[in-house]
Amino acid sequence: MENRNKLLEVKNLKQHFNIGRGRVVKAVDGLSFDIYEGEVLGLVGESGCGKSTTGRSIIGLYDATDGEVLFKGENVHAKKSRKEKLKFNRAMQMIFQDPYASLNPRMTVGDIIAEGIDIHGLAKSKEERDNRVYDLLETVGLTKEHASRYPHEFSGGQRQRIGIARALAVEPDFIIADEPISALDVSIQAQVVNLMKQLQRDRSLTYLFIAHDLSMVKYISDRIGVMYQGHLVELCDADRLYENPVHAYTKSLLSAIPLPDPEHERTRKRIVYDRPTGGAVGKSSEDSSIPALREIEPGHYVSMTDAELEAYQAQLV
């Protein structure tokens, strides 16, 4: 992985919100990770852990409180000219969680998909514009006849396909998928994820795939980062995370995954995470007594103190 080019670098990202009366919510509090060209990084954790806020901060929907987000070496949150903003917006797109709320009900599907094409001047004529829309609809499993319809005429799964087509319309390099399947029926979720996998292979896309369903994230991701209370507590290859979960919170999440095996479900024991009563859970710090992401094996990072790292290494001897 280290030999591949870094497409995105997140460095000590903080996103704090002032909720009044001197109170501050630290939705993201010191997050650091890289995403390499052509990979899918899954980001998982319970509701409220800061996953979606991370995605929105990366794409610039929120101004970061602190830290840096570098996309192709350029700071996302630095002041940009209109031309620079257009270039960035074309290279990075987002698929939103709610396919019902993310599509303008007053626009036809064709106009929704073509909006980016129009803004970036990617079609020289109406005919070329329409043909691009038709091709995109077919790419996501719909037909050109759907272009003249309105969002309310489609199911949730179809609307999410429209959202994917809209993101693809400007030929981006990087797509943030913010819980793109959580609002869909289980039977439709696999279809959408399979479509995204196919598009990722065919178009050499890079994804940040945000979700709370660990089983689905494993299916699509090359690496997985586990978030808890605004921090990363574990980061490694998807298969390795399942084979050797180390952080107690990761073990808790994995223990909650149901399997289609009645005998397993009868005997399955849920691991309850013993939440820390105070202090940080994953900050980068030179203080060895504060948990920080530490590399326990090549490419496998876990939030722990120096003492916890020594104890873990002693178990391997």
What was the pLDDT predicted at 84? 92
Per DSSP, the three-state class of 106 is: coil
What was the pLDDT predicted at 5? 92
What count of residues does the chain have? 317
Tell whether 202 is covered by a domain. yes
What was the pLDDT predicted at 266? 81
Domain interval for residue 200? 6-316
What was the pLDDT predicted at 85? 92
| Closest of 181, 156, 178 to residue 167, by C-alpha | 178
Q: What is the C-alpha separation between 180 and 146, in angstroms, rounded?
A: 21
What was the pLDDT predicted at 285? 47
| Closest of 52, 72, 48, 70 to residue 61, by C-alpha | 52
What CATH number is given to the structural domain containing 146? Answer: 3.40.50.300
What was the pLDDT predicted at 2? 56
Tell whether 1 is covered by a domain. no
Q: Model's pTM, two decimal places?
A: 0.91
108 touches 130 (CB < 8 A): no
What was the pLDDT predicted at 233? 96
Residues of the chain with pLDDT under 50: 278-280, 283-285
Q: Which residues lie below 8 Å from residue 164, measured CB to CB, with a gap of 6+?
A: 95, 140, 180, 192, 195, 196, 199
What are 235's two structure tokens? Answer: 């980061």
Sign for the CA dihedral angle at 53, 79, 75, 88 comes to positive
What are 317's two structure tokens? Answer: 């001897």
Tell whether 50 is covered by a domain. yes
What was the pLDDT predicted at 279? 46
* Strand order through the sheet with 66-71: 23-36, 6-20, 66-71, 74-75
Q: What is the C-alpha separation between 217 and 222, in angstroms, rounded?
A: 9
Name the domain count of the chain. 1
